C-alpha cells in the first residue's frame, strides 16, 4: 500500500496555489471549486480535490473510451486510480481505519462527478461538435487536476 502521509498538507498547499493562480488569471476555476478554495482551511476537505479530479478523468475515459491512444488511456486510468486512492487515504487519516474502508464512499463521489462530466461532454458535443475544448469549466478542471495529480504518487 502506498502511504500518503504528507498528502493532506500538499493538497492544501496546492489548493492555496490554485486560488492564487485563478485570481491572477481572473478566470475562476468553476463555481463549486472556486467556492471551495475560498473556504477557510479548517472548512476544506482535503479529499475533495482528488475525488473531483478522479471523477473528471473517469468521465473523460467514459466519453472518449476507445478513441484514446492506448498509452494515453492507460495514463488517465492510472491517474484516476491514484487520485481515488489518495482520497481514500485522506479519509482514513481523518477518520481512522484503512483506506479500503472508504472505497465505497469515495468511488460513489467519483462516479457522481464522472456522470456530471460525461453528461456535460455529451451536451457540448451535441451543441458545438466539441466535447471539451469550448468548455471553460472542463478546461480549467483539466488544468487544475494536472496540478493535483503531480502531488499524488502514481499507481504502479
Residues 44-92: pLDDT tens digits? 778 888 999 999 999 999 999 889 999 999 999 999 999 999 999 988 9
- Burial class from Cβ neighbours inside 10 Å (0-12, 13-18, 19+) for residue 47 reads buried
Grid coordinates given for 54: 478522479
Residue count (the chain): 156
Single out the residue of 151, 148, 121, 123 nearest to residue 21, CA to CA.
148
Burial track 86-102 (b if 16+ CB lie within 10 A, e otherwise): bbbbbbbbeeeeebeeb
Q: Which carries the bigger pLDDT value, residue 107 or residue 15?
A: 107
User: What does the pLDDT read at residue 65?
Assistant: 85
Termini Cα distance of the chain: 11
Spatial distance between the Cα atoms of 38 and 134, rounded to a whole number of angstroms: 26
Instruction: Find where cell 479519509 sits.
Output: 91
Spatial distance between the Cα atoms of 130 and 123, rounded to a whole number of angstroms: 9
The percent of residues in the chain predicted with pLDDT above 70, rounded, is: 77
- Burial class from Cβ neighbours inside 10 Å (0-12, 13-18, 19+) for residue 64 reads middle
Among the ranges given (31-35, 50-54, 63-67, 124-128), the one the predictor scored with the smallest mean pLDDT: 31-35
- Burial class from Cβ neighbours inside 10 Å (0-12, 13-18, 19+) for residue 70 reads exposed
Kindly report the pTM of this predicted structure. 0.78
Spatial distance between the Cα atoms of 144 and 20, rounded to a whole number of angstroms: 12
Amino acid at each position: 500500500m502506498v502511504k500518503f502521509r504528507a498528502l493532506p498538507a500538499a493538497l492544501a498547499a496546492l489548493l492555496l496555489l490554485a486560488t492564487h493562480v485563478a485570481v491572477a488569471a481572473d478566470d475562476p476555476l468553476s463555481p463549486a471549486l472556486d467556492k471551495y478554495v475560498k473556504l477557510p482551511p479548517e472548512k476544506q476537505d482535503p479529499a475533495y480535490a482528488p475525488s473531483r479530479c478522479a471523477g473528471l478523468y473517469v468521465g473523460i475515459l467514459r466519453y472518449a473510451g476507445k478513441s484514446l491512444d492506448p498509452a494515453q488511456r492507460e495514463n488517465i486510468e492510472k491517474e484516476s486510480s491514484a487520485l481515488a486512492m489518495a482520497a481514500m487515504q485522506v479519509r482514513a487519516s481523518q477518520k481512522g481505519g484503512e483506506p479500503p474502508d472508504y472505497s465505497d464512499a469515495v468511488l460513489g463521489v467519483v462516479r457522481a462527478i464522472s456522470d456530471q462530466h460525461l453528461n456535460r461532454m455529451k451536451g457540448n458535443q451535441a451543441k458545438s461538435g466539441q466535447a471539451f475544448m469550448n468548455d471553460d469549466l472542463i478546461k480549467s478542471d483539466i488544468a487544475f487536476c494536472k496540478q493535483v495529480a503531480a502531488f499524488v504518487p502514481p499507481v504502479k
